[in-house]
């Protein structure tokens, strides 16, 4: 190899890998330095005074409105860091990034996660504004790798979700294929199989479509009886109360006149039985249902306590 050819080749591959990693780490450290912390009340999951648990705002890159690790944000962050690292390696390895068009597959690989993250955010904000969903911050909990993975593959209710898990798995497979191919030839971005890119992109599209499928709105249509003594059992009719189950596990919270009532026996998505709360005044009280997800419905002046 001639001296001019060696100079044009730039740095050797191992040194290029190290310098690219250093650049990424420095960038992340700068982000960490410019971000402050937010303090939480352990009982309410809300900002509060001093002496409480804190969450560094840097992690908001990966967190959703409910303080859970966001599936779409993680995929977007993974591909952003992977491509940035690879392009830096190429730049250091060949001295100057070689001219030429970016393979259209990468527009899909970075575009679909970006679109999924933005689309999921827009859908969630719209659902919150309309009251269809409620993204209440849970009790403060330190994020561990196991907890982060659980959040990524679970839906907003914390249950394992096939769509979220599929999106995450296909992304990991595509990233593994990307790095294996890239380290074989660190002078250019590898050409990934169309099938793998298509599966990753389709999973991102399916994830957004699932987000857009809003749950049934929570509403109270009727209360029976509308009057009764303190010993009465009241039936509350409506929709969106939650998945049918037995007992009180996961049952909605019900209040009459702002006082907590007790859910009795089996309940369904459209019917809840409650006994009246002690101390209910002899006035026409509002009836309110709050689902396990935090969605709320109120029927004003729905029940009157009789002597």
Q: Is 57 helix (H, G, I), strand (E, B) or coil?
A: helix
pLDDT score of 287: 92
CB 94 within 8 A of CB 20: no
Q: Which token pair is 17? A: 């890998």
pLDDT score of 10: 54
Pairing of strands 253-256, 284-290: antiparallel
pLDDT score of 236: 92
Calpha distance 17→183 (Å, rounded): 9
CB 222 within 8 A of CB 198: no
Pick the CATH number of 219-305 from 2.60.40.10, 3.40.50.720, 2.40.160.40, 3.40.1280.10: 2.60.40.10
pLDDT tens for the 307 residues of the chain, in order = 333 333 445 567 788 899 999 999 999 999 999 988 877 654 444 444 445 677 778 888 888 767 788 888 888 889 889 989 988 888 887 765 555 555 666 666 666 677 777 777 776 666 666 555 555 555 566 778 888 888 888 877 667 888 888 888 988 999 999 999 888 888 888 888 888 888 888 888 888 777 776 566 788 889 999 999 988 999 999 887 876 544 444 778 899 988 999 988 778 888 899 999 998 888 889 999 988 777 788 899 899 988 8
CB 75 within 8 A of CB 116: yes
pLDDT score of 167: 87
Calpha distance 119→108 (Å, rounded): 15
pTM above 0.75, yes or no: no
pLDDT score of 282: 84
> What residue ranges do the domains of the chain occupy?
3-212, 219-305
Q: Is 111 helix (H, G, I), strand (E, B) or coil?
A: helix
Residue 264, CA distances (Å) to 290, 296, 302 in order: 15, 19, 19
pLDDT score of 42: 46
């Amino acid at each position: 190899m001639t001296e001019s050819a060696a100079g044009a080749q730039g740095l050797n591959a191992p040194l290029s890998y190290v310098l690219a990693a250093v650049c990424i780490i420095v960038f992340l450290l700068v982000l960490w330095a410019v971000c402050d912390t937010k303090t939480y009340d352990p009982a309410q999951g809300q900002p509060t005074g001093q002496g409480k648990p804190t969450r560094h705002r840097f992690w908001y890159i990966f967190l959703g409105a409910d303080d859970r690790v966001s599936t779409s944000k993680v995929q977007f962050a993974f591909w952003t860091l992977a491509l940035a690292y690879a392009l830096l390696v190429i730049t250091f390895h060949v001295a100057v990034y070689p001219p030429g068009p970016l393979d259209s597959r990468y527009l899909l690989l970075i575009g679909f996660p970006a679109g999924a993250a933005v689309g999921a955010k827009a859908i969630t904000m719209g659902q919150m504004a309309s009251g269809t969903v409620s993204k209440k911050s849970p009790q403060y909990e330190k994020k561990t790798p196991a907890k982060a993975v659980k959040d990524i593959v679970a839906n907003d209710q914390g249950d394992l979700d096939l769509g979220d898990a599929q999106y995450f798995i296909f992304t990991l497979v595509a990233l593994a294929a990307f790095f294996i191919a890239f380290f074989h030839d660190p002078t250019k971005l590898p050409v990934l199989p169309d099938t793998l890119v298509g599966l990753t992109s389709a999973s991102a599209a399916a994830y957004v479509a699932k987000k857009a499928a809003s749950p049934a709105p929570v509403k109270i249509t009727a209360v029976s009886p509308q009057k009764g003594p303190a010993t009465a059992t009241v039936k509350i009719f409506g929709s969106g109360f939650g998945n049918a189950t037995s007992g009180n596990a996961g049952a909605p919270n019900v209040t009459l006149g702002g006082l907590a009532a007790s859910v009795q026996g089996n309940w369904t998505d459209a019917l809840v039985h409650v006994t009246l709360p002690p101390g209910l005044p002899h006035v026409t009280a509002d009836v309110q249902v709050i689902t396990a997800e935090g969605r709320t419905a109120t029927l004003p002046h729905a029940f009157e306590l009789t002597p």
